[in-house]
Amino acid sequence: MVALRTFLVMSVIVLLCISSVQPVHAQACDQAQKLATIDSSVQSKINRIKNYESSYLIANGRFYQALWTHSTIPDGTNAAINQQSNRPTHQNESLQSLLDGANIPPSLPNRFKIDQYDGPSGRAMSS
């Protein structure tokens, strides 16, 4: 339901951007374009990250955990990943391992992290 609502709101904003040349809509248009860029960026990498996680789980008996890719939140335009050497204290591999293994480009319009957990329902990871 939330995804449908978000889609409808984004559709309205995009339609306003297309149909309006009024400066008052410029900020909403810019925001809609940035959100669309971020959505596209995330969708293009999800399967590569899942494949990396599956391989990592088989090799290590647990999921890979990634700390934030960027020290600050990018503004929706591509920003260089600046946390490549960061890693959780319990893990030998740094963020660079994920970037290389999942073929993630050196710049992204958004930041992300991957958490791992092991609970009553089993092991999992979330991003």
**pTM for the whole thing?**
0.66
Lookup: tokens for 94: 């740094």
Instruction: Assess whether pLDDT exceeds 60 at residue 9.
Output: no
Give me the pLDDT at residue 27, please: 67
| Average pLDDT over every residue of 71-82 | 87
**Cβ contact 23:11 at 8 Å:** no
User: Residue 14 half-sphere exposure, CB side, CA atoms within 13 Å?
Assistant: 11
User: pLDDT (tens digit, 9 = 90+) per residue, 11-36?
Assistant: 334 433 444 444 555 666 787 887 88
| Confidence band, pLDDT 50/70/90 cuts, at residue 5 | very low
Give me the pLDDT at residue 109, please: 85
Domain positions in the chain: 2-126
